[in-house]
Chains A and B, each alone.
Chain A
Amino acid sequence: MFSEKIFYNKKHLYILVFVLFYFWGLSAATIESDTAISQSKTVQLNSVTISSKLKDANIKSGSTGISIDIDDIKLLPKIIGDADPFKALQYISGVSQTGEAKSGLFVRGGNNDQNLILFNGIQIQNPTHILGLFSSFNPELTEQITFIKAGMPAEYGGCLSSVLDISTSLNIPEKFTLDGSIGLISSRFTIKVPIAKKISFYAAARSSYINLIIMPFLEKIGIDKDITSNKYGFYDINAGFNYKVNSKNTVSGHFYFNTDYLKMVNIRNLYLGNSKMQWSNLGFSLQHTSAFSDSFLFHQQFSLSNFNMDLKWADLLIGTTSKYNSTVYKADFTNLYRLHNFKYGVECSYNMSFPNFLEAAAVSNVQGSSEYNSIYSALTSLFFRDEINFKKLQINVGIRANVYFHLGDYTDYREGNNNVYYKKGKIVKPYFGVEPRLFIRYLLNNVSSVKFSASRNIQFLNQIPTINFGIPADFQMPASLYVKPQASWHFSGGYFHNFKNNMWETSVEAYYKNMENQLEMPNGDFMEIFTKNVEQTVLSGRGYAYGLELSVKKTEGKITGWLSYNLSWTWRQFREINNGKPFLANNDRRHNASLILVYKLNEHWDFSAVFIYATGSKMNLPLSWYVLGEKLMLEYGDYNAFELPAYHRLDLSVNYKFKSFRRFSSELNLSVYNVYNRKNPFQVYYNTTDGFGMSYLLPIIPYLSYTFHF
Chain B
Amino acid sequence: MEKHYNIFIFFVMILFVGCNPDLDYEPHGYEQKIIVEGYIANNEYAKVYLSLNNPTWRKIDSVSILKSVIRTAKVTVSDGETTEVLTSSWEHTHFPPYIYKSTELKGEEGKTYFLKVEYSGHTVTSQTTIPYSTPIESLDISIPQQDNAADTLRTLSATFNIDNSRHCSYRFFCKRIKDTGYYETPFLFNSELNLNGHQTVTVMSKNSNGLFALGDTVMLRFVTIDSTSTQFFKDIATGLTQIQSERLNTLKSNISEPGFGIWCGEGVRNYWVVIF
Contact = CB atoms under 8 A, between A and B. Distances in A.
A620 B56 contact: no
A677 B19 contact: yes
Contact of B56 (A631, A678, A691, A700): A691
Nearest to A576: B248
A686 B243 contact: yes
Interface string A557-580: 000000000000000001011110
B96 A621 contact: no
Contacts of B249: 576-579, 639
Interface in B1-43: 14-15, 17-25, 27-30, 33, 35, 37
A639 B248 contact: yes
A422 interface: no
6 A-B pairs with least C-beta separation: A524-B246, A677-B18, A645-B21, A626-B53, A624-B53, A620-B246
Interface stretch (B199-207, B208-216, B234-242): B234-242
A688 B244 CA distance: 11
B236 A629 contact: yes
Interface residues of B, number: 52
Interface stretch (B57-65, B115-123, B127-135): B57-65
A623 B56 CA distance: 6
A24 interface: no
A641 interface: yes
Given A626-B53, A627-B68, A632-B241, A524 B247 contact: yes
Contacts of B240: 631, 633-634
B224 interface: no
Interface in A239-280: 271
Contacts of B242: 525
A696 to B, nearest CB: 9
Contacts of B261: 628
Contacts of A684: 23
A525 B247 CA distance: 9
B100 interface: no
B23 A627 contact: no
B28 A637 contact: yes
Interface of B: 14-15, 17-25, 27-30, 33, 35, 37, 51-60, 65, 68, 94-96, 233, 236, 238-251, 260-262
B233 A676 contact: no
A624 B52 CA distance: 10
A626 B243 contact: no
B241 A631 contact: yes
A637 B248 CA distance: 10
A689 B245 CA distance: 16
A691 B260 CA distance: 23
Contacts of B247: 524, 620, 636, 639
A189 to B, nearest CB: 32
A692 B248 contact: no
B47 to A, nearest CB: 13
Contacts of A578: 248-250
Contacts of B25: 621, 642, 692
A525 B246 contact: yes
A693 B54 CA distance: 18
Nearest to A639: B248
Given A524-B246, A624-B54, A677-B18, A641 B35 contact: no
Interface in A77-136: none
Contacts of B37: 628-629
B14 A676 contact: yes
Given A271-B244, A623-B27, A686-B56, A677 B68 contact: no
A525 B239 contact: yes
Given A623-B55, A635-B260, A637-B27, A522 B18 contact: no
A511 to B, nearest CB: 28
A624 B14 contact: no
A679 B20 contact: yes
B56 A621 contact: yes
A34 interface: no
A391 B55 CA distance: 65
Contact of A577 (B27, B95, B248): B248
A634 B27 CA distance: 13
Interface in A634-688: 634-639, 641-642, 645-646, 675-681, 684-688
Determine which residue in A522, A574, A635 has the highest number of CB atoms from chain B within 10 A of its CB, and name it.
Answer: A635
B27 A621 contact: yes
Given A677-B15, A687-B243, A627 B233 contact: no
A627 B68 CA distance: 9
Given A627-B65, A677-B14, A700-B15, A641 B21 contact: no
A532 to B, nearest CB: 14
B124 to A, nearest CB: 14
Given A632-B241, A635-B260, A636-B246, A627 B95 contact: yes
B181 to A, nearest CB: 9
Nearest to A520: B248
Contacts of A642: 25, 27
A676 B19 CA distance: 7
A536 interface: no
B51 A641 contact: no
Contacts of A629: 37, 233, 236
A383 B232 CA distance: 52
Given A525-B245, A625-B54, A692-B23, A700 B14 contact: yes
B15 A625 contact: no
Determine which residue in A628, A641, A680 has the highest number of CB atoms from chain B within 10 A of its CB, and name it.
Answer: A628
29 contacts: A271-B244, A523-B238, A523-B248, A524-B248, A576-B248, A577-B248, A578-B249, A624-B27, A626-B53, A633-B241, A635-B33, A637-B27, A638-B250, A639-B249, A641-B29, A642-B27, A645-B24, A675-B14, A677-B17, A678-B18, A678-B19, A679-B19, A680-B21, A688-B243, A689-B60, A692-B25, A692-B57, A694-B21, A700-B18
